[in-house]
Amino acid sequence: MTSLQQGELWELSRRLIGFNTVSALSNLEAAEYLASYLEESGLTVKVARDEIEGVTKASVIAWAGPAVEGGLIISGHIDVVPFEGQPGWKSDPLELITDGEKLYGRGVTDMKVFIAQAILAAKRQDLSKLRRPLMFILTYDEEVAGQGSQRLVKQLPSILQGFPLPRTALIGEPTNFEIFPAHKGYATFKISVRGQGGHSSAADRGLNAINRMSDVIQIIKETGLELKQQVTAENLRLFPENPSTAFNNGVIQGGLAANMIAETCELTTSMRVAPGDNVEQVIATLRERIEREISQEMRKAAPECGAWVSDAISVPPLNSPANDPFIEVLGRVMGQRSEHGAPYATDGGPFQAIGINSYICGPGLIEQAHQPNESLPVEHFHSGQERLERLIQAWCMQS
């Protein structure tokens, strides 16, 4: 055993990596372990449980300090993306290991080590000397369009029972300690087309659902071009490479055989949503055009024919003030501030939707997230906790 593997940070990180918290599974055991650790560290702790399709999920909320405004939330997600069947792993994804230069394991970058660093940073403080509240919000299902945080934000008033909810949050996603004040949102939805099947030798007697889906895809493309023409100067600054809301047609399934007219077709589409754009409004625009230009004509052939757009599962965009006093303090502790937005969505979107300005900054590189042999530089492992200790002292313990 090396000196790296002998400290409390290694042991807590090892335990967290060892919990299989893939989003499809329950994270309750890991959440209860974290809750106990936080309680032993001197914080008031609540565990918020939800039943999702028969699976128990849990978020952990913990806080310390006076019941005053101006506190800080430190937030991370407990869930991880799947690893079973992912080729390329050279070690057990649920075992934390090191080669002396990097740490390896599922969630080591995204983002269990950050959670361990933050908890131990708080444990090292004399919490009786906090002048502003320090709060932890640890969520489930962030990897599933932020569904855990979106449920949790509705429950926070009853959980806190009058304790002031801080209006500033640090989301410790892997940024190489670069600070991002913004990110695009994410949404996914499905479009289903039902036509009339038949033998391909009599194509004119049927209504090919795949052909009509190609018309749907053209409408999506045109809608994307319209959104490009509405780009704001702010989004050009934040997302210079892709400043507008953009669609990706990710999965399509239709038909049964090459010699049959396709009766059904289904398309799964996603959007990266720029700040200021409204997912529901974009979906409503698509629905209206598809109904007017496609479904009305299809129903002339048969009333059961047409195209339907599902509701979206989404996480909102984030655009926190770049001149907030917190970002100045965070910059002194963490280092580099980015003028741009992060290229991925986080729990910061749902938080800002209820008035919590959120900033994305943490150890690790996003290029390592979701990858086989997910890794974290040893230097980030060592420095992350110390940076968080200084942040807590600067924001929550100074007058």
**What is the residue-level pLDDT of the chain in tens, covering all 399 positions?**
677 777 999 999 999 999 999 999 999 999 999 999 999 999 999 999 999 999 999 999 999 999 999 999 999 999 999 999 999 999 999 999 999 999 999 999 999 999 999 999 999 999 999 999 999 999 999 999 899 999 999 999 999 999 999 999 999 999 999 999 999 999 999 999 999 998 778 767 789 999 999 999 999 999 999 999 999 999 999 999 999 999 999 999 999 999 999 999 999 999 999 999 999 999 999 999 999 999 999 999 899 999 999 999 999 999 999 999 999 999 999 978 888 999 899 999 999 999 999 999 999 999 999 999 999 999 999 999 999 999 999 999 986
Do 338 and 225 reside in the same domain of the chain?
no
What per-residue confidence (pLDDT) applies to 177?
96
Do 137 and 286 reside in the same domain of the chain?
no
Do 132 and 208 reside in the same domain of the chain?
no
What per-residue confidence (pLDDT) applies to 209?
97
Q: Among the three residues 314, 347, 362, which one is the final residue of a domain in this structure?
A: 314
Q: Tell me, what CATH number does 250's domain have? A: 3.30.70.360
- Torsion of Cα atoms, 255 then 257 then 258 then 260, to 10°: -70
pTM assigned to the model: 0.92
Do 213 and 199 reside in the same domain of the chain?
yes
Do 178 and 195 reside in the same domain of the chain?
no
How far are the Cα atoms of 56, 317, 337 from residue 167, in angstroms, in the given order? 29, 17, 20
How far is residue 202's CA from residue 305's CA, in Å, rounded to a whole number? 18
How far is residue 18's CA from residue 35's CA, in Å, rounded to a whole number? 16
DSSP H or E stretch at residue 273: strand 264-273
Do 57 and 198 reside in the same domain of the chain?
no
Q: Among the three residues 314, 336, 364, which one is the final residue of a domain in this structure?
A: 314
Q: Tell me, what CATH number does 128's domain have? A: 3.40.630.10
How far is residue 244's CA from residue 213's CA, in Å, rounded to a whole number? 24
What per-residue confidence (pLDDT) applies to 1?
61
Do 379 and 289 reside in the same domain of the chain?
no
Q: Among the three residues 314, 329, 358, which one is the final residue of a domain in this structure?
A: 314
What per-residue confidence (pLDDT) applies to 375?
98
Structural domain total, the chain: 2
Do 53 and 139 reside in the same domain of the chain?
yes
Do 166 and 91 reside in the same domain of the chain?
yes
Do 169 and 206 reside in the same domain of the chain?
no
- The residue range of the domain holding 243 is 185-314
Do 168 and 209 reside in the same domain of the chain?
no
Do 135 and 246 reside in the same domain of the chain?
no
